[in-house]
């Protein structure tokens, strides 16, 4: 499987999957609403109305999803500080519900105006609580799907760890400069030479190691890993990237002070002015 191509388009593929799910789910909901209103004779609503209600809701969620996923990446699930996590995600659910309701109602108002009709959302306090209960559950579902997808994707790509043959070596490896990473992928293990890694990319709780067209996630922070691999010729060049000096082909600069690094493979990385001077010094 071409993980490089998938990884390069993972955001687009993720939103396509989310859009497909929402379209199917909300179409079923719209048909259910219409059936419920039609059960006892002449319906009190027009056929188009439940579809407008459901599709405006789906579209609003799709607009908000990028913000939600960034929020989930910024505050990933873990077992530490459960009270803090509960408060953080309670706040996130309220913000999600508020944005969802605001966009959804605005879109419905526009559609009803175009159809020369009036849309009545109802009493704000009552309807907000009604919608929040559904949105809070939706928030939990999206959060779980995001984290499960990240976990499964990391396992399918293979997860890297430092090669160690004993418990003591495993402890020492957390401080030592590694020569290789051991990558466990499904039922196989591979050795990845540190010298073959072109660049590093921050990805939530992981750092993606890019080596010879493949991507291996390592549970670490970018700052920690760049510092650890500095003796092997790696430098941090951006809040999201670190680079192997031997993989660099050229560097260009912009009037703003930022720059762009072109690798020998043709890949281009952003160079932040925050790390520019330190990076240039490390090359000398």
pTM here is 0.62
116/109 Cα distance (integer angstroms): 10
Closest CA to 241 of 210, 214, 278, 280: 210
Q: Is the dihedral of CA 40, 44, 49, 53 positive or negative?
A: negative
DSSP string, the chain: --HHHHHHTHHHHHHHHHHHHHHHHHHHHHHHHHHHHHTTSS-SS-THHHHHHHHHHHHHHHHHHHHHHHHHHHS---SS-HHHHHHHHHHHHHHHHHHHHHHHHHHHHHHHHHTT-------HHHHHHHHHHHHHHHHHHHHHHHHHHHHHHHHHH-EEEE--SSHHHHHHHTTS--SEEEEEETTEEEEEEGGGEEEEEEETTEEEEEETTEEEEEES-HHHHHHHTGGGTEEE-SSSEEEEGGGEEEEEE-TTS-EEEEETTS-EEEE-HHHHHHHHHHH-
Full pLDDT tens readout for the chain, 284 residues: 555 566 667 778 888 999 999 999 999 999 999 998 888 778 888 999 999 999 999 999 999 999 999 899 888 777 778 888 899 999 999 999 999 999 999 999 999 999 998 999 999 999 999 999 999 999 999 999 988 887 777 666 666 777 654 344 444 445 567 888 888 766 677 788 999 999 999 987 788 899 988 888 888 899 999 999 999 999 999 999 999 999 999 999 988 889 999 999 999 999 999 999 899 888 87
Q: How far apart are CA 280 and CA 251, in angstroms?
A: 10
What is the edge-to-edge ordering of all strands in the sheet holding 268-271? 248-253, 259-263, 268-271
Q: How many residues are there in the chain?
A: 284
């Amino acid at each position: 499987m071409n993980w490089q191509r998938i990884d390069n388009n993972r955001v687009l593929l993720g939103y396509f999957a989310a859009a497909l799910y929402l379209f199917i789910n909300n179409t079923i909901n719209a048909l259910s609403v219409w059936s419920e209103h039609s059960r006892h004779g002449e319906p009190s609503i027009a056929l188009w109305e439940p579809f407008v209600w459901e599709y405006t809701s789906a579209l609003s969620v799709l607009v908000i999803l990028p913000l939600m996923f960034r929020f989930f990446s910024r505050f990933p699930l873990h077992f530490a500080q459960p009270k803090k996590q509960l408060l953080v995600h309670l706040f996130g659910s309220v913000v999600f519900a508020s944005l969802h309701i605001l966009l959804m109602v605005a879109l419905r108002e526009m559609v009803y105006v175009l159809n020369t009709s009036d849309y009545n959302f109802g009493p704000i306090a009552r309807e907000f609580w009604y919608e929040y209960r559904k949105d809070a559950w939706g928030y939990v579902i999206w959060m779980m799907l995001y984290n499960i997808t990240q976990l499964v994707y990391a396992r399918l790509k293979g997860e890297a760890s430092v090669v160690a043959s004993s418990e003591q070596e495993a402890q020492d490896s957390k401080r030592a400069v590694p020569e290789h990473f051991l990558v466990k992928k499904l039922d196989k293990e591979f050795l990845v030479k540190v010298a073959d890694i072109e660049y590093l990319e921050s990805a939530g709780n992981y750092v993606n190691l890019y080596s010879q067209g493949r991507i291996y996630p390592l549970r670490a922070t970018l700052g920690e890993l760049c510092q650890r691999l500095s003796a092997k010729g790696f430098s941090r060049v951006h809040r999201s990237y670190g680079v192997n000096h031997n993989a660099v082909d050229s560097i260009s600069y912009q009037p703003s002070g930022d720059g762009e690094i072109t690798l020998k493979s043709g890949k281009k990385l952003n160079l932040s002015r925050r790390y520019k001077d330190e990076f240039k010094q490390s090359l000398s």
